């Protein structure tokens, strides 16, 4: 398998920007090249393989049409438009801003050989890693992630994870604990019909960072990916997690910048 950045980017576009990107969707509507995805919990998500050569005027129409779609569904409270750095998308950021989407922190998409991350990582003796499936464990994990990411603790994300586990699609949830308290977490999402699995939701409490917890959770998920027959891993990583993954041999292939719209927010900047 060719692991050069250009080859990995082509694989990313061809295999990971399809229905594989949103396996837990409640509904998907097509609008030109766009996939307008609705998840449980009042979340919308806009993605696409590319914008099919659209010029700035058409891009603006697509943004307006996508937002009209979600405004018509009163259940949807939040919509994320996922923009990739290598796409040809003239006028996209301006159109999103005009329609009330707020740009979030840019992340780097990295990909690489799972074997490079499936290593032994020394941990403080009181730290225990384990895979969780019970409702109580999933809710504890979700609450910790909400806190670390600076979000209000909400049952919605935990509810979505529990529904995802119930589908039996291979998703795995991993936590690091000290005396039964969750101090770190992350999930593994195997991509159906591919050699790839995604690393998502990595979070570690501030007092435990820099002590191997993130690397150990990554290694545990990489070993599981290999057991499931997934030879490649991918992740949209924050500045905090990027060094860990790149040191292990994962390669940056593009960037992704979320833009988020909230119902009731001002309609434009």
With contact defined as beta carbons under 8 Å apart, do 186 and 218 qualify?
yes
Separation CA 259–CA 261 (nearest Å): 7
Count CB-CB contacts under 10 A for residue 56.
13
Stretch (H or E) spanning 32 = none
Separation CA 47–CA 191 (nearest Å): 16
Question: Do the domains at 5-106+256-262 and 118-248 have one common CATH topology?
Answer: yes
Please count the residues of the chain: 269
Determine the longest span between alpha carbons in the chain, in angstroms: 58
**DSSP bridge partners of 112:** 233
Count CB-CB contacts under 10 A for residue 130.
12
Q: Spell out the per-residue pLDDT of the chain, length 269, in tens.
A: 678 899 999 999 998 998 888 888 889 999 999 999 999 888 999 999 999 999 999 999 999 999 999 999 999 999 999 999 999 999 999 999 999 999 999 999 999 999 999 999 999 999 999 999 999 999 999 999 999 988 888 888 899 899 889 988 899 999 999 999 999 999 999 998 889 999 998 999 999 999 999 999 999 999 999 999 999 999 998 877 788 788 888 999 999 999 999 998 765 54
With contact defined as beta carbons under 8 Å apart, do 199 and 218 qualify?
yes
Of 141, 109, 125, 120, the closest CA to residue 223 belongs to: 120
E strand intervals along 59-169: 78-84, 102-103, 107-113, 127-132
Domain range summary for the chain, segments of one domain joined by +: 5-106+256-262, 118-248
Number of H helices, E strands in the chain: 7, 12
Assigned CATH for 118-248: 3.40.630.30
Separation CA 239–CA 241 (nearest Å): 6
Whole-model pTM: value is 0.87
Separation CA 120–CA 200 (nearest Å): 20
Structure tokens at 28: 């998907």
With contact defined as beta carbons under 8 Å apart, do 47 and 30 qualify?
no
Separation CA 26–CA 224 (nearest Å): 27
Q: Does domain 5-106+256-262 have CATH number 3.40.630?
A: yes
**Which pLDDT value is given to residue 263?**
94
């Amino acid at each position: 398998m060719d692991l050069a950045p250009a080859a990995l980017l082509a694989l990313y576009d061809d295999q990971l920007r399809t229905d594989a990107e949103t396996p837990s969707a409640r509904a998907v509507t097509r609008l030109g090249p766009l996939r307008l995805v609705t998840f449980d919990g009042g979340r919308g998500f806009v993605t696409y393989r590319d914008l099919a050569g659209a010029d700035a005027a058409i891009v603006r129409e697509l943004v307006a049409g996508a937002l009209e779609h979600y405004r018509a569904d009163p259940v949807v409270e939040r919509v994320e438009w996922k923009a990739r750095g290598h796409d040809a998308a003239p006028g996209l950021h301006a159109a999103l801003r005009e329609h009330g989407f707020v740009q979030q922190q840019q992340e780097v998409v990295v990909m690489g050989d799972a074997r490079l991350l499936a290593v032994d990582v020394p941990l403080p003796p009181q730290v225990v890693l384990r895979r969780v499936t019970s409702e109580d464990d999933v809710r504890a994990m979700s609450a910790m992630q909400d806190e670390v990411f600076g979000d209000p603790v909400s049952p919605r994300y935990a509810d979505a994870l529990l529904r995802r586990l119930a589908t039996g699609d291979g998703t795995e949830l991993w936590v690091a604990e000290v005396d039964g308290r969750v101090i770190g977490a992350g999930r593994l999402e195997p991509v159906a019909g591919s050699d790839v699995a995604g690393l998502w939701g990595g979070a570690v409490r501030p007092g435990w960072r820099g002590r191997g917890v993130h690397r150990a959770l990554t290694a545990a998920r990489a070993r599981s990916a290999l057991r499931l027959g997934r030879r490649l891993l991918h992740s949209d990583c924050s500045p905090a997690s990027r060094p860990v993954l790149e040191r292990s041999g994962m390669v940056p292939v593009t960037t992704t910048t979320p833009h988020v719209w909230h119902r009731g927010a001002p309609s434009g900047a």
